[in-house]
Amino acid sequence: MKFSVIVPVYNCENSLFKCIESILGQEFNDFEVIIVNDGSSDSSEEICKRFIAKDSRVKYFYQKNSGVSSARNLGIENAVGEWIVFCDSDDYVGPYFLRDFFCNISEDTEIICQGFYCFNWQNIQDQYVGSKIKRKISGIDLLGEEIVQQLKDGYLGYVWCKAFKREIIIKNCIRFPIDIHFMEDLLFVSNYLKNVKSILVLYSSNYFYNFTPVGKEFLTSNPYDLLIVVYKNVLAINSDSNFKYEIRLYYAEAIIELFLSGRYNLTNEMLIDYYRQFSDVVFNIVPRSFKVRVFKYFAIKDNRSYNFKLIKIIRCAVVLGKLARIWK
């Protein structure tokens, strides 16, 4: 079995049929669909049973309402495919969704990402989220600049439109946190990235994301919280001090850009909250030894791009320092 497609279900009778039908209508046939009913009280169960009766590729599990993370974990435990793919029950996929994953699998492939389109149930939104070219991300870019950019682009923090290697998930006991109800997708992805050497990003986009008001708020909300979650995770990945130093620079730059952009109309209360969260991060990013080395870097004539990052870090430290004095 090549793919296991896991679909958590909870009170989604209006969208569930289209979702499952789109998965079963793939141009690629070596897959199973694992539906986990998380205690639905509407007609979702009846819809699921219709698919079970007519297609042997569909497996069905029921659990008392425990949340989407628990439902996905149950799906993982019962999956047999080499690759695990997630699909939300209010979304749907195009006919080449699994085929495009399959055609790009090689011996060293560990995770594959596709883009997606946003839509609502009235019309398709002209919004594509994803890469404009096919590329492989590895080395420091895997945890630094490329990942920050994908956070800004808005599609790293989701498990759907990605294919994960089941062997890596099982071997490293990667699961969704059942006690966290915000950014659980991002935590799963960042924990998975701790155990891979590269990401394959495709230009293709065969996933259609239901752009609900809640989803819209998350997709377009400021990525401060996303950055800090990933930042804390990636620091634990590699013990090499030079590697961690470079990672700190990437995330410092991202936090600074957000802090100084003024794009999100933060209230005073929000600013105070973010200061409390991020002042430690930024000042940890700029350790004492780093401050001493700042002048050395500015003295290097051919290090302009690096100097630009250092300027941003210093500016952010100054801004945070001023805010700290004001709020005291």
In this predicted model, what pLDDT tens digit does every residue of 131-160 receive, in sequence order? 555 667 765 455 555 565 555 555 566 899
Q: What is the pLDDT of residue 3?
A: 99
Q: What is the pLDDT of residue 277?
A: 57
Q: What is the pLDDT of residue 64?
A: 97
Q: Which of 168, 55, 20 is nearest to 108 (CA)?
A: 168
From residue 236, give the alpha-carbon distance in Å to each of 101, 111, 229, 241, 244: 29, 20, 12, 11, 9
| Mean of all residue pLDDT scores within the chain | 75
| Residue 175 host element (H or E) | none
Q: What is the pLDDT of residue 101?
A: 97
Q: What is the pTM of this model?
A: 0.72
For residue 307, what are its two tokens? 């100097």
- Residues of the chain with pLDDT below 70 are 121-135, 138-157, 180-183, 212-328
Is 72 exposed, middle or buried (CB count within 10 Å of its CB: 0-12, 13-18, 19+)? buried
Q: Which long-range contacts (CB under 8 A, 24 or more apart) does 95-99 make?
A: 95/22, 95/25, 95/26, 95/27, 95/206, 96/26, 96/27, 96/28, 96/204, 96/206, 97/23, 97/26, 97/206, 97/207, 98/2, 98/3, 98/5, 98/26, 98/27, 98/28, 98/31, 99/26, 99/27, 99/28
| Ramachandran sector of residue 300 (left: φ over 0; alpha: ψ -120 to 50; beta: rest) | beta
For residue 190, what are its two tokens? 């960042």
